[in-house]
Every structure is written in structure tokens, then in C-alpha cells.
Amino acid sequence: MTVRAKLCGIRSESDLRTAVEAGADAVGFICGVTHFSEDALTGSRARQLAALAPPFVSRVLVTHLEEAADIVRVAELIGADTIQIHGLVTPATVRQVRDTAGGRRIVQAVHVTGPESIDAARAAAANCDAVLLDSRTATRLGGTGETHDWSISATIVKALTDLARPVILAGGLNPANVAEAIATVHPYAVDVNSGVETPTGDKDPAACASFVTAAQQVSWLR
């Protein structure tokens, strides 16, 4: 199985071009935030950038919004193919998004904070198309640059196998550790933001290409 790679936090035409040339399967546009993100976009800017994504590169709305109607409205505005719900939402809200999102795929983020995250992931899996495992801090719901306990993530992958629910691994990934992360967790896909950026917050072409290549090379060993 080939591991897919998503490059998140796209905020400029240069970022988008870099991600596409690196071979990313998906690109993430952060729009509608409740916690700080350097890469947050207005709806109009996210729409402009998403429209430039070429065919076969999935456009992902990443949002902290907590009301289903608001989430779907932004997804429709920017023309997202997939909605990544990164906020602290209820299961009922996720179901409402799924039922009103016009067939868009729904990914729900689960923050891996300890063994209790295993049950949280199983609960989330019932209402979405994929579960994304990420790190969090007191001030950030994503983009922390910090890894979490990959052994817990690996347990979640096994726990969701019977539900046929893909798992996406995020949180502190970069070109140097993504191979080890994949070998440990065996995710369906990996997701990176700050781990492939320059000091100014732009996507680094060499780092993005190295990340995607490393992910694809490890996938052949599975």
C-alpha cells in the first residue's frame, strides 16, 4: 500500500506550487480558526488558492469551526473536496456535517494525549471517513511541531482496522522522522505543516520533496 502525503498550511501560490511539484496527494487550507495558526486564511483567499490546485490533488478545508452549518458553508465557498474537522466538536455535529456536506469526505482530528485517545478515535470513526491523529498544546489544536506517543497511534490503527477506517498521522512530522513514524504506526496517510517550512513560514521545496519521497519509499516495505 502506498502511503499518501498531505501538505497542510498552504497560504500562497508559491506554497501550492511547491506542494504540487513535491508530489503531494492533498493540500490543506486552514480557514475558520478558534486557536492560533500562522497559516489561517480568509475564505476568499482560501477559495482563490484552492481554485489553482490541479486535478487529482485533493483540496482539504482544515477548520476549527464548531457549528455544522458554518463548516459546510466554508467548504462550499472554497470548493473543498474534503473537510478536516479540527475543532472540538460533538459527534452530532460531525454527523450533521457529513449529512449536509454534499458528498465531501469528512476527516475528524483526534488529539493523542494518552491511552484514552484510543476510545476517542473509535468513537470518532463511527461518523467520518477517516481519523487524523494529531498533537495539541494548551494554545494550539494543530501545527504544534510536536510528536505524540506513536505507540498509541499504532494501537489506534489496529483498533480501527475492523471498521475499515483509514488513519492519517500528523503531529511533529518532518523529512527526518516520517519514515520511522510510518514504520511504527502504519497509517494510511501522513500530514505535515511546520515540519517542511522555512524560518519565514513558507513551504520549503527541498523539504517538501524529501518528505513525500520518504513517505513513498517506506510504503513499499509494508
What confidence tens digit (pLDDT) does each residue in 148-198 have? 899 999 999 999 988 899 999 999 999 999 999 999 999 999 999 999 999
The predicted structure's pLDDT at residue 217? 84
pTM of the predicted model as reported, rounded to 2 decimal places: 0.93
Domain of residue 194, residue span: 4-219
Residues of the chain with pLDDT under 50: 138, 220
**In CATH, what number is assigned to the domain containing residue 54?**
3.20.20.70
Total tally of structural domains belonging to the chain: 1
- Please state, for a pLDDT cut of 90, what percent of the chain lies above it: 83
H, E, C per residue of the chain: CCCEEEECCCCCHHHHHHHHHHCCCEEEEEECCCCCCCCCECHHHHHHHHHHCCCCCEEEEEECCCCHHHHHHHHHHHCCCEEEECCCCCHHHHHHHHHHCCCCEEEEEEECCCCHHHHHHHHHHCCCCEEEEECCCCCCCCCCCCCCCHHHHHHHHHHCHHHCCCEEECCCCCCCCHHHHHHHHCCCEEEECHHHECCCCCECHHHHHHHHHHHHHHHCCC
